[in-house]
Amino acid sequence: MKYKKMGRTGLKVSAFCLGTMTFGKQVEEAESLRIIDAAIDEGVNFLDTADMYVNGRTEQIVGKALKGRRDSIVLASKVGHTLKLGAKWGGNRDSGPIDMARPKAFTPWPGAEDIGLNDMGLSRKHIMQGVEASLKRLNTDYIDIYYAHMPDYDTPLEETLRAMDDLVRQGKVRYLACSNYRAFQLSKALWISDKYNLARFDCIQPPYNLLARDVEYELLPLCATEGVGVCVFSPMAAGFLSGKYNKDKGPIEGARFSLAHQGYVYNQKYWSEDNFDAVAKLKQIAESNGRTLAQFALAWVLSNRTVTAVVCGNTSVAQLEQNMAATEITLSEDELKACDEVWSQLRPPRLFYGR
Amino acid sequence: MQYRKMGRTGLKVSTYCMGVMNLGSQVSEKDSLKIIETAIEQGVNFFDAADMYVTGKAEQILGKAIKGKRDSIVLATKVGHWLKMKDNVRVEAADIDGKPTPYSPWEGGGEAGPNDMGLSRKHIMQGIEASLRRLDTDYIDLYYCHMPDYDTPLEETLRALDDLVHQGKVRYIGCSNYCAWRLCKALGVSAMHNLARFECVQPPYNLLARDIEYELMPLCASEGVGMCVYSPMAAGFLSGKYDKAKGPIEGARFAIGHLGLRYNQQYWSDSNFEAVDKLKQTASAHGRNMAQFALAWVLQHQPITSVVSGASSLAQLEQNLAATELKLSEEELRACDEVWSVLRPFRFFYGR
């Protein structure tokens, strides 16, 4: 297993970070525990969870699995998820400009419809309550990396960072991080921490894969410059880059693309003609070099030196072993260039504003 | 003429900002003076120059034109341009760390030494004096960093610019061609050290290049930074006067040597020609002239302060000025979004 420093920090994490989002739901508890065991046996020291995964069930399973070996593990969890309505100008495409004046929808995630207004977001109140609940479920007294799960436009960054800084001082959290933030929001958070001498976001968790490379224009240059770690989620485009989906056949029963809520979300994101074309081309590149597409896709993400780790979920021990092996693969210049070709078809270059 | 506040500042500027990049080269001095005079008569109070436009000539003409009416004008100019090897190609993460930086001056600035470009304290102090002399004035209202200089710490650049504000040589500072993360970092450096901050940014923005909507525009909206956008007509491409089969028109922007090549790369493609065709249809279906439609579309976006637009004749100026009064319908805006979604197909985006 390869280990990397997380950004400028002294923390060393395995390049393979075990994602747990499906534990307790798609993957039943017994198999989840086996997967975690196998990962740790192979040298994985980095586990990623969140308070809202399967409404807390996942954290409980992770806590059970780590019993007795907590200190050798870098345990990450998240707080403050809310389900947002689409941005005004982008319709339900969540990539457009944010309308700062838009009235905010307080919508909890599916399965948590009953929770109150202060049971989500990144207010001091919810963070303090969230960490206690996570610690209890994880059955531990500290979290190594505590993520703000997504930006909360209703709460000043100062409030969020000060609350999270207090958690660091209280010994409940070691490092702070954020997920799903835009580059300008992370940049602003970094200078607020600087200005008020607070712990800063030392890691960010964005999606990044061969079919979704937008982080390369703003977010990765920021992280490279400021020494912020990058733990990437969706490195395989939610399984789409495994090549197992077939446009004509439709989603596979039980796999990520056919799950109700998430199935819909992932569908929108990847299920398109040009993504299927891209996957076909990528498969060819991978296989002509004797690699499976899944391993190729993971190795490609890790080939970017700004990336610290891939967050990768698994539904079986067999899948886990295949995925972990990908971290040892180094892609050639030719392979990387071929991937760039595919991306420039998906995202034809337009005049970019930053030089 | 409509006027808007520049970001959170108290400065009021006309939504039409007259760009002078082509004055003294494509447009003769005599015509330039007449164009500027007419613009001022029509209520334009905002002029945009740079030290390197026509290697100083544009500033000289502008200085001459505003003689005697300086105080009613908001005068912007820029410092620190240099030509990057991969100019106008998107910035890759790998470019930032470890990349050796080439010191290449702009075309016509071949004699410039390594300290005659970029955003060091030395060059800024030297650049402002030269601009003031050419503009024949003792202050600049809005002084832009023309493009980021990755060799100079932001602290050095901002402290030098802050000194210019204290010295009375500059009223506000701005930046151009910056990424959102770097502008945001600059705002933080200013806040941290109590320095003047970038109150305005000048990015390109038009119907064929809308990338600022994902990071830069929300940043400016949330922090109250003004946005004066250049290339609102994609360097004339959105006028609809170009024909792919015929090739560039003699004397127009796309036919000019160095710049021609750059604009060519940026816009001269099948997909852009198709997009312009569709946009033309939308414009004419609503009884609008394509060029005016393109300008009006930019100004419709709330965080935008002004469009920086050049004119090569009085007729063109009048046409452009009239565009600032137009208001597009929801239906027109949706049609434009459609065109953009073809040019830039949706991919899973990282920010929520």
Angle separating helix axes A333-346 and A293-302, nearest 10 degrees:
90
CATH topology of domain A3-346: TIM Barrel (3.20.20)
Chain A hits for B179, CB-CB cut-off 8 Å, are: 183, 217-218, 221-222, 353-354
Judge whether residue B100 has pLDDT over 50. Answer: no
Instruction: Return the pLDDT at B147.
Output: 92
Evaluate whether A282 touches A293 at the Cβ level (below 8 Å). Answer: yes
- Measured between beta carbons, the chain B residues lying within 8 angstroms of A238 are none
Is A227's Cβ below 8 Å from some Cβ in B? no
Tell me the domain boundaries of chain B.
Answer: 3-236+301-326
Domain B3-236+301-326, architecture per CATH:
Alpha-Beta Barrel (3.20)
Determine which of B195, B215, B219 to mutate to test the interface with A (most A C-beta atoms within 10 Å): B215
Q: Where are the alpha helices (DSSP H) in B172-269?
A: 180-193, 216-223, 257-267
How far apart are alpha carbons B73 and B67 in whole angstroms?
Answer: 10
Mutate to test the interface with A, among B177, B179, B181 (most CBs of A within 10 A): B181
Q: What are phi and psi of B203, to 5 degrees?
A: -105, 165
Average pLDDT over residues B41-68: 95
The pLDDT assigned to B128 comes to 98
Comparing C-alpha atoms, which of A182, A227, A226, A232 is closest to residue A212? A232
Q: What is the distance in angstroms between the Cα of A70 and the nearest Cα belonging to chain B? A: 31
Query: DSSP secondary-structure letter at A238?
Result: G
Which pLDDT score is estimated for B97?
A: 42
Q: Provide mean pLDDT across the span A247-255.
A: 71
Q: Catalytic annotation on B144? A: no
Mean pLDDT of chain A: 89
Q: Which two tokens stand for residue B113?
A: 């030494």
pTM of the model: 0.90
**Is pLDDT at B42 greater than 60 in this prediction?**
yes
B46 backbone dihedrals φ, ψ, rounded to 5°? -125, 120
Considering only A171-175, A327-331, B123-127, B342-346, which range has the smallest mean pLDDT? B342-346
Chain A residues with CB under 8 Å of B219 CB are 184, 188
B146-158 residue pLDDT tens = 999 888 999 999 9
Per-residue pLDDT tens digits for B181-237 = 999 999 999 999 999 999 999 999 999 999 999 999 999 999 999 999 999 999 888
Rounded to the nearest 10 degrees, the angle between the axes of helix B180-193 and helix A183-196 is 20
Contact B188 A195 (CB under 8 A): yes
Strand partners, B104: B83
More confident residue, A151 or B87: A151
Say if residues B125 and B160 touch (Cβ distance below 8 Å).
Answer: yes
pLDDT tens-digit profile of B113-146? 778 888 999 999 999 999 999 999 999 999 999 9
Q: What is the pLDDT of residue B350?
A: 87
Catalytic: which of B53, B139, B205, B230?
A: B53
Catalytic, out of A53, A146, A175, A266: A53
3-state DSSP percent of chain A in helix, strand and coil, to 5: 45, 15, 40
How far apart, in whole angstroms, are the C-alpha atoms of residue B142 and residue B174? Answer: 7
Confidence (pLDDT) at B105: 57
Whether pLDDT at A163 is above 90: yes
Give the model's confidence band at B86: pLDDT under 50 very low, under 70 low, under 90 confident, else very high: very low
Strand partners, A18: A47, A312
Q: Is ipTM beyond 0.90?
A: no
Tokens of A98: 């944010």
User: CA B48, CA B35: separation in Å to the nearest integer?
Assistant: 14
Query: Beta strand B140-145 with B170-176: parallel, antiparallel or unpaired?
Result: parallel
- Report pLDDT digits (tens) over A88-140: 333 333 444 555 444 445 556 666 666 777 888 899 999 999 999 999 999 99
Residue A345 has a CB neighbour count (10 Å cut-off) of 12
Q: Please provide residue B204's backbone torsions phi and psi, each rounded to the nearest 5 degrees.
A: -80, 145
Nearest to B218 among A94, A98, A353 (CB): A98
- Enclosing H/E stretch for A267: helix A260-270
Min distance B207 CA to chain A CA atoms (Å): 11
pLDDT per residue as tens digits for the range A258-307: 554 555 566 667 888 999 999 999 999 999 999 999 999 999 999 999 99
Give the largest Cα separation in chain A, rounded.
Answer: 55
What pLDDT shows up at residue B254? 62
- To which H or E segment does residue A226 belong? helix A219-226
- Let me know the angle formed at the C-alpha of A180 by A236 and A306, rounded to the nearest 5 degrees: 65
pLDDT-derived band at B88 (thresholds 50, 70, 90) equals: very low
Residues of B within 8 A of A215 (CB-CB) are 350
Among A150, A223, A351, select the one facing B352 at the smallest CB separation. A150
Q: If 0-12 CB within 10 Å is exposed, 13-18 middle and 19+ buried, where does residue B280 land?
A: middle
Gap between the Cα atoms of B302 and A231, Å rounded: 35
Whole-number pLDDT of residue A345: 93
Q: pLDDT (tens digit, 9 = 90+) per residue, A12-54?
A: 999 999 999 999 988 999 999 999 999 999 999 999 999 999 8
pLDDT given for residue A258 in this prediction: 57
If you count them, how many residues does chain B have? Answer: 352
